[in-house]
Structure 1
Amino acid sequence: MFRHSALSLVRRAAPATRRPLSSSMASSPSSSQSPVEDTIREKITAALQPSTLEIFNDSHLHAHHKAMEGVTSRETHFRLVITSEAFRSKMQPARHRLVYSLLKGEMAMEGGIHALQLRTMTPEEEDKRKQAESSA
């Protein structure tokens, strides 16, 4: 049984922007300004049913890197914070492999995901992290 009653899905286009996911934002990837981000959200949500999903598009911070020369995509670098019961009894490497396997197509395609930073937690781990942050 989930410890969190409300599903918290967050979209972050840049570190300072935070918007809750609504049905209007869950448009088809072909009509979106951020199709890779939309695909990430759809695949993670379908497979892991997260209680928390935060997506940070950090591509703008890496556009000047040599590896990004000639790349026109604005969706190459992402940070994901995922809380899911699906991670229970899995060590961090197994959790990360699970997410990588879900997004392998987006990581393999030209102009797709170049870098993916993950924070994966169970609901209990997220609660402990929040408690530690609030007491600090």
Structure 2
Amino acid sequence: MHANSYVAPTMEEKPVESSIRSKLLQALHPVHLEVHNESSLHAVPKGSETHFKVVIASQRFAGMPLLQRHRLVNEILQAELAGPVHAISIQAKTPQQWEENPNVSRSPACLGGSKHDPHMGQAGRPCF
């Protein structure tokens, strides 16, 4: 895969999701980027932007250990992580790694939060 495989945003995209996508595109020039709002899988109010998964392939990650890649993404998104974003899952690969294995791992089930709160999300999968 030599062409960029940027996943276009949906019409329902929200401001935090847009900010995450924009900052990562600008800072890392990825050949592949997916930003998934997974808030609906957690016990948060409907329409929340608190839990995200980022799948990104960038040449900037070449030669970096996985922990350093995650730190770089966290640094780029520090304003979001200090504010509305409670949790972020990051899958950071080089373009070569993405080409060899474009699989995206499934996010783990959420185990925290208050599953009995009627104002929160799915009762069986609470998290904050």
Distance 1:45 1:130, change over 3 A: closer
Counterpart residue identity of residue 97, structure 1: R
Match of 2:87 in 1: 115
Match of 1:78 in 2: 52
Say whether residues 1:53 and 2:33 are aligned partners. Answer: yes
Alignment of 1:1-136 (within 5 A): 4=2, 6-10=3-7, 20-21=8-9, 33-62=13-42, 64=43, 68=44, 74-109=48-83, 112-130=84-102
Q: Distance in 1 between matches of 2:102 and 2:33?
A: 15
Distance 1:130 1:41, change over 3 A: closer
Q: Distance in 1 between matches of 2:77 and 2:47?
A: 17
Show CA shifts across 1:85-134 (max 9, x none): 0000000000000000011111112xx11000000000111122149xxx
Consecutive unaligned residues of structure 2, counting only runs of 5 or more, are: 104-128
**Runs of 4+ that moved beyond 2 A:** none
Alpha carbons 1:57, 1:77 under 8 Å: kept: yes
Alpha carbons 2:52, 2:88 under 8 Å: kept: yes
Aligned length: 103
Match of 1:28 in 2: none
Counterpart residue identity of residue 36, structure 1: V
Q: Distance in 2 between matches of 1:127 and 1:97?
A: 23
Q: Distance in 2 between matches of 1:34 and 1:74?
A: 9
Counterpart residue identity of residue 125, structure 1: Q
TM-score by length of 1: 0.68
Secondary structure of residue in 2 paired with 1:79? strand
CA RMSD of aligned residues (A): 2.3
Alpha carbons 2:50, 2:86 under 8 Å: kept: yes
Consecutive unaligned residues of structure 1, counting only runs of 5 or more, are: 11-19, 26-31, 132-136
Identity of aligned residues (%): 39
